[in-house]
Copies of this chain bind each other. A is one copy, B any other.
Amino acid sequence: MAVTLADVAARAGVSAATVSRVLSGNYPVAGATRTRVMRAVEELEYVVNGPASSLAAASSDLVGILVNDIADPFFGIIAGAVQSELNGPDGAQGSHKLAVVCNTGGSPEQELTYLTLLQRQRAAAIVLTGGAVEDAEHSAALSARLQRLAAGGTRIVLCGRPPLGPALPGQRGPQGHGELPVLTVAFDNRGGARRLTEHLLALGHRAIGYVAGPAERTTTRHRLEGHRSALLEHRGGPVREAEPLTVHGGGYDRSSGYDGALELLRREPRLTAVLAANDTVALGVCAALRDQGLRIPEDVSVAGFDDLPFSADAAPALTTVRLPLHEAGARAGKLALGRQGPPPGGVATVRADLMVRDSTARPRTD
């Protein structure tokens, strides 16, 4: 039914091989032949059969991008950046890669399922974004699957998630030579959270609540660790009292922030500041505080994390930690295409800058 290479070849009066060569453009072909072929292609409106060429060439132009929540701009920005790198450096015709954005919903099972699907498609590369679930069993399964994919020629890049633990001995590659098959673009979540907490401490806050993300995620843990380390350093001892002022939300969403803030207020009515797992959670926190008749920042300071576009426009503008999402995604995209040499140690860490805006201020002194 559809027009095939052979049809084009017949029309142009050449062999199928020649047409293939013209189309892929990686082989010398006489100018006259080339134009003749191209004309036949146009006249017939020929479109390559992807599956057939992938099968024959044992390669595909699909690149997988795994995200926890596609409706969250955090992931949208990263995915968009990765995708923007996928079209040839100079907009070259042939080098078009197709991004397959997979929405795992943060579920480990879905993550594995999608990896299987991508393996089935013989994806050229896969970028896994966002924090990982910390579960020994899942980590092992994930790691194994990733190793197999890498062994099959699929490039693997982690973006915004911590590097994989060292490969088990004898598992790192067919030849066992030291090259890590999995590259990482990591966020400095610890450092960012530490600086944010230090900022609050410097303003004079002492009763600081923290609405953390889901307990089992690496991002949650790292940000919390940064927060705790700042408190610890400031007090010069283990932070026992900090514990009760941390609540874990069910997700990185608005309602977790709302509920979390209420819970925090119940535990410690004299709270003067609340740190949120991210900007979206912070918005929920703000809503809850306002509903309780508290002003921001006069009564309670609030800070987020990520610096998503809407944060600067919130009222009051949100103090937060800026993560260079676009830059990180672009970097991951380049690494995925092998367009950029691997960073030292296979891990690139991008900075996390404190953005002080209007939602944080000195605590009331009454």
Contacts and interface: CB of A to CB of B under 8 A. Distances in A.
Interface of A: 1-2, 45, 47-52, 54-55, 60, 62, 69-73, 75-77, 79-80, 83-84, 96, 98-103, 113-114, 116-122, 148, 152, 254, 280, 283-284, 286-287, 290, 309-310, 312-316
A60 B120 CA distance: 12
A100 B50 CA distance: 14
B51 A79 contact: no
Nearest to A329: B71
Contacts of A77: 71
B51 A283 contact: no
Which of A72, A152, A280 has most B Cβ within 10 Å?
A72
A71 B80 contact: yes
Contacts of A119: 47
Given A80-B70, A120-B48, A121-B50, A100 B99 contact: yes
A75 B75 CA distance: 12
A1 B80 contact: no
Nearest to A311: B310
Contacts of A83: 70, 102-103
A315 B313 contact: no
24 contacts: A45-B148, A47-B119, A47-B120, A48-B120, A50-B122, A51-B54, A62-B121, A70-B79, A71-B73, A71-B76, A72-B73, A72-B76, A73-B73, A75-B76, A76-B76, A79-B103, A83-B102, A98-B114, A98-B117, A100-B100, A101-B101, A286-B313, A314-B315, A315-B315
A70 B60 contact: no
A313 B122 contact: no
Nearest to A151: B1
A250 to B, nearest CB: 16
Contacts of A102: 83, 98-99
Nearest to A287: B313
Contacts of A314: 314-315
Which of A54, A98, A102 has most B Cβ within 10 Å?
A98
B120 A50 contact: yes
B49 A122 contact: yes
B122 A51 contact: yes
A-B complex: 5 closest residue pairs judged by Cβ atoms: A51-B54, A101-B101, A315-B315, A71-B76, A50-B120
Given A71-B80, A73-B72, A314-B315, A51 B55 contact: yes
A101 B122 contact: no
A98 B99 CA distance: 11
A280 B122 CA distance: 38
Given A72-B76, A76-B73, A100-B99, A254 B120 contact: no
